[in-house]
Structure formats: C-alpha cells, structure tokens
Amino acid sequence: MFKIKIVAYIIAFILLGCQPKKKNKEERVEVEKEENVVLNSRYQKLLDYPVDSLSFPRSADSLGQIKKVPSGDWTSGFFAGNLWQLYQLTEEQEYRDKAQQWTVFIEKEKLNGKSHDVGFKVFCSFGNGLEVNPENKHYQKVVVKAANTLASRYSDKVKSIRSWDFNKKQWQFPVIIDNMMNLELLFEAAKIAKDSTFYEIAVNHANTTLKNHFRENNSTFHVVDYDSLSGNIHEKVTHQGFNDSSSWARGQAWAIYGFTMAYRYTQNERYLNQAKATVKFFINHKNLPEDGIPYWDFNDPDIPQAPRDVSAATVVASGLLELYTYTQEEPFLAYAEKVLHTLNSKEYLLKTENEIPFIFKHSTGNYPKNDEIDVPIVYADYYYLEALLRKKKFNL
Ligand code: GLY
C-alpha cells in the first residue's frame, strides 16, 4: 500500500511538473496592462497619419507599404469612422478634430451612385459624426442626400438595390450580401427626413435578401444575380469566396450584422431568426479555429494553412454584442468576448514600433484576386472599435 502511494506521488509530481505554469492573477493583470499599452500606441498611429484628401489608408502589404485610396473607394469612410470612434472611447479632442478633417473629404461621395458602397462610405464617416453630435444639420443633410443616391439604385421589379455595375457580360442585376450593411443609411435617413420611402426600400431589400441569399444550412451566397426586367433569379455565385457553394467568412459576417441591424429598426422577428441561425452556423462551424478568428473562407481546402480574416471576426463580434441584447443567448456574448480577447495579443496586434495607421494584422480582403491577403485592413479595426464602444454602451 505504502509503495503504491509513493508511486502515485511520483506520477503526480511528474505530471504537475510537466504542465505549463498557469499565470497567477497578478501576472495576468501585468500581461493585460502591457497589451493595453500596445493597443493605445496603435491608436496614436491613426492620429500621426498625415491628412490628405486623396490618400485614405485602406490596408498595408507584407512590406509595410500602405495602400492609399481616394474617397471613391468603398473603404474610404472607415478611417474617419475609426477616428470618430476613438474620440468616443478616449474623449481626447485630437481624435475628433482629425475625424472632422477626414470626414469633409468624403462629402462628394453622397452623389456617387456608381455602386451601393455610398452606404459604407458616407454612413461610416458622417454617420459616426452624428453619433457624436446628432444635431449637426449639415451631416444630416449629407446622410439624406447619400440615401437618395443609394435609393436611385433600387428596382421595384427586383425589390432590391443593385450592388454593382461591373461584369455586365455575366450579371444584369447583381445583389451581394454585403449590401445589407448599407441599409443602415436608409433607415437613419428615413428618420432624419421623415420619409418612409427610404424605410420601405430598406425593408423590401432585406426581405428579398432573406428569401434568396440563404442556403438550407443558413450560410449565405455572396452574389445573387437577377433579371432586371422580370426580377427572376439568374444565378447564385461568389465573387470573393472560394467557390459558389463555399461560405466566405466576411459574407457570413455581413449577413449576421446586417440582419441584426435591420431587426433594430423593424422589430421583424424573421430578421432576428435569420441572424441567430447564421451566427450558429458560424460559431459552431468545425472549421472555426479555437481562438475565434475564422479562416477567410470556411471551405478553403488549405485549412488549417489558409489565411485568417480578422475583419470577419470583428464584424461578427460587433454584430453579436447587439444581437445579445435582443436574445440574451450567452454563446453570442461569449464569442464576441473571445474575439476581443484574442485580438488584444501579440499574435494579432501590430507592434508599437510599426508606424502604419492600423491596429491589427491578419485580415484578408479579396483572396481569389490575390489582393490583401493576411494583412492589416482598415475595416477590421473599425468593427473592433465599434465593438469596444458597444460593450460600453450596452454595459456588457
Ligand atoms: N465589399 C466589401 C467586402 O469586401 O467585404
């Protein structure tokens, strides 16, 4: 008996000795402090970036070269949005001043009806300005004008907004799942202008998307192309995903966020149910890595070597913080918190000494075009900052 006890002690000693030492509470607080120092140093880089109406920072390549774009690019509103959100998080005036300067450069986009992206551009900049000062009449007018421009792309035959004009040989009336995000501009413009037409267009678009974009398993197609005369569906395909039947991670994210937001304005339970179902597809997927940051497409055969997409994770995290307030489903809050925790780490944060105006590494823009793969991208930062603000706002 005595011998057995000795052997048991020896085995326990070896096993415990081999386990990685767990950090105690004080050590964990220290690590978190260090990570927050890095995070705050990243915020400063956005202030340091020189103001230039033609050079909105969009992403950086693996050599640290910044991809700078004009206001016409679909991502132009995010940088101003980041500064507006940093002002709200820090209450430091410098962020507000810079946010205002960058926002001015986007105003002309209110008349650019070449794609549905007028919503991303104007609402992520002017819309955030209105969060800070809801009474700003000029910003309100810009939002309403931009909503008019977006509404001009609506077809009552298709009952949708046309997303893109390119690729006319293949597509007549392409609608992409991303388009759900632009409905926020319409819902807000309906309130500002007291014009229910914007609301009706947004609701019709959401209903058509609900009917045609989702698969049996609640994942979403990227592009649904319609016949513009009859409104019938031509094809359901992808543009940025691995293939037509794959689940492009950011597409799933736009769907989750978009239907949660549409529920906020309409209280339509069908929108809420779709958002919940698509979240479940996403967070329970066998190919979602343990740290919560998805591969760029859930069906890339290169998984686990495939690149990740931080932007998809931050869009979902921000969307889920809102969805949690409607559903109280704990796994939704748990996923959002996991993402925020994962990102605040050396693996994902850019180093303090890196001067580019971004916060996180490891996003993927357009994999099939070999464009912006595993790099910092402005909209990943945007939805992360929004998630931080939502945590505060909802007291989560
Ligand atoms: N069109 C926006 C995106 O790349 O997700």
Residue 13 lies in a domain: yes
pLDDT above 70 (res 21): no
Judgement on whether residues 252 and 375 belong to the same structural domain of the protein: yes
Judgement on whether residues 249 and 328 belong to the same structural domain of the protein: yes
Judgement on whether residues 107 and 256 belong to the same structural domain of the protein: no
Residue 179 lies in a domain: no
Domain with residue 357: its CATH number is 1.50.10.10
Residue 346 lies in a domain: yes
Judgement on whether residues 24 and 89 belong to the same structural domain of the protein: no
Task: State if residue 222 touches ligand 1 by the CB under 6 angstroms criterion.
Answer: no
Higher pLDDT, 324 or 12: 324
**pLDDT grade for 30, boundaries at 50, 70 and 90:** confident
Measured CA distances, 9 to 2, 18, 22, 51, 270 (Å): 11, 14, 21, 66, 59
Q: Give me the pLDDT at residue 8, please.
A: 52
Judgement on whether residues 288 and 317 belong to the same structural domain of the protein: yes
Give the separation between CA 1 and CA 14, rounded to whole angstroms. 20
CB 360 within 8 A of CB 45: no
- Work out the average pLDDT over 298-311: 98
Judgement on whether residues 242 and 368 belong to the same structural domain of the protein: yes
Residue 314 lies in a domain: yes
Q: Which residues are catalytic?
A: 117, 178
Residue 172 lies in a domain: no
From 152, 184, 207, give the residue that closes a domain.
Answer: 152
**pLDDT grade for 10, boundaries at 50, 70 and 90:** low
E strand map for 38-137: 56-60, 66-69
pTM: 0.93
Domain count, the chain: 2
**pLDDT grade for 19, boundaries at 50, 70 and 90:** low
Task: State if residue 121 touches ligand 1 by the CB under 6 angstroms criterion.
Answer: no
The two tokens of residue 27 are: 């050590």
Report CA(372)–ligand 1 centroid distance (Å).
12
Q: What is the pLDDT of residues 174-222, one digit of tens each?
A: 999 999 999 999 999 999 999 999 999 999 999 999 999 999 999 999 9
CA atoms within 13 A on the CB side of 29: 3
Q: Give me the pLDDT at residue 3, please.
A: 56
From 117, 152, 187, give the residue that closes a domain.
Answer: 152
Residue 232 lies in a domain: no
The two tokens of residue 171 are: 């597509």
pLDDT above 90 (res 20): no
Judgement on whether residues 27 and 89 belong to the same structural domain of the protein: no
pLDDT above 60 (res 167): yes
Q: Give me the pLDDT at residue 99, please.
A: 98
Judgement on whether residues 252 and 376 belong to the same structural domain of the protein: yes
DSSP state of 111: G
Residue 298 lies in a domain: yes
DSSP string, 17-39: HHSPPPP-HHHHHHHHHHHHHHH
Task: State if residue 239 touches ligand 1 by the CB under 6 angstroms criterion.
Answer: no
Judgement on whether residues 125 and 269 belong to the same structural domain of the protein: no
Judgement on whether residues 136 and 26 belong to the same structural domain of the protein: no
Q: Give me the pLDDT at residue 350, please.
A: 97
Judgement on whether residues 361 and 332 belong to the same structural domain of the protein: yes
Q: Where is average pLDDT lowest: 19-33, 74-88, 372-386? A: 19-33
Four-residue CA torsion sign, 55, 56, 58, 61:
positive
Mutate to test the pocket of ligand 1, among 67, 178, 311 (most ligand atoms within 8 A of CB): 178
The two tokens of residue 307 are: 């690149």
CB 350 within 8 A of CB 288: no
Q: Give me the pLDDT at residue 31, please.
A: 75
Q: Nearest C-alpha to atom 1 of ligand 1 is from which residue?
A: 178
Domain extent at residue 26: 1-48+238-396
- Work out the average pLDDT over 377-387: 98
DSSP state of 307: P
Judgement on whether residues 377 and 258 belong to the same structural domain of the protein: yes
CB 310 within 8 A of CB 360: yes
Residue 304 lies in a domain: yes
- Work out the average pLDDT over 302-325: 98
